[in-house]
Amino acid sequence: MRRELFLHIVHALEARDEYFQQREDATHRKGLSPLTKCTVALRQLAYGTTEDMFDEYSHVRDTTGRECLVNFCAGVIDAFGATYLHKSNAQDCKDLMRMHNKVHGFPGMLGSIDCMHWELKNCHAAWRGQFTSGYKGTPPNDDP
């Protein structure tokens, strides 16, 4: 994600939601910054991980990570929903498919997850064959 886009999201959330404003506790210690809260939420969304992954990385406990994610998602919907999260109409889909075909050279992006009809050079071994019609590895043994 570009830095400008990330900062735009952070500033929008900080202006709209008290949760994303840095505060002090009763002992005058500063809490987490809006940058840290948004980073924790985005890393969870990007990597599909659990909240406890961030204990060592950003010194955020799992409950705080969960709060960051919930508040981030609600804040993004509130701040950007009217502009970017509207339901697509038929013309939007046609334009998107035409643009994708022009840029990448193959159609069918919205038709199916099976748009992976191009062979991946460096596909993860765990994903091998998942989105293709034929599995090219050793099939798993289903015997008990």
Q: Give the model confidence (pLDDT) of 85-132 as tens digits.
A: 878 788 888 888 888 788 877 666 665 555 455 555 565 566 565 555
Q: What is the pLDDT of residue 89?
A: 83
Number of domains, the chain: 2
Residue 93 is predicted with a pLDDT of 82
- Residue 123: CB partners within 8 Å, gap ≥ 6? none
Other CB atoms within a 10 A radius of the CB of residue 72 amount to 24
Q: Is residue 14 domain-shared with residue 60, that is, in the same domain?
A: yes
| pLDDT number for residue 105 | 76
- pLDDT for position 128: 60
The residues, ordered by sequence, that sit 6+ positions from 20 with a Cβ below 8 Å of its Cβ are 10, 13, 14, 34, 37, 38, 71, 75
Helix ranges (DSSP H) in 17-132? 34-47, 54-58, 62-84, 90-104
Domain that holds residue 106: 90-127
Q: Residue 41: which of 31, 30, 49, 138 has the closest Cα?
A: 49
Tell me the average pLDDT across 136-140.
52
| 76 and 96 assigned to the same domain | no
Answer yes or no: do 95 and 80 share one domain. Answer: no
Which two three-digit tokens encode residue 116?
């992976």
User: In which band, very low, low, confident or very high, does the pLDDT at 51 lie, cut at 50, 70 and 90?
Assistant: low
User: Are both 76 and 112 inside the same structural domain?
Assistant: no
Looking at the structure, do residues 105 and 68 belong to the same domain, yes or no?
no
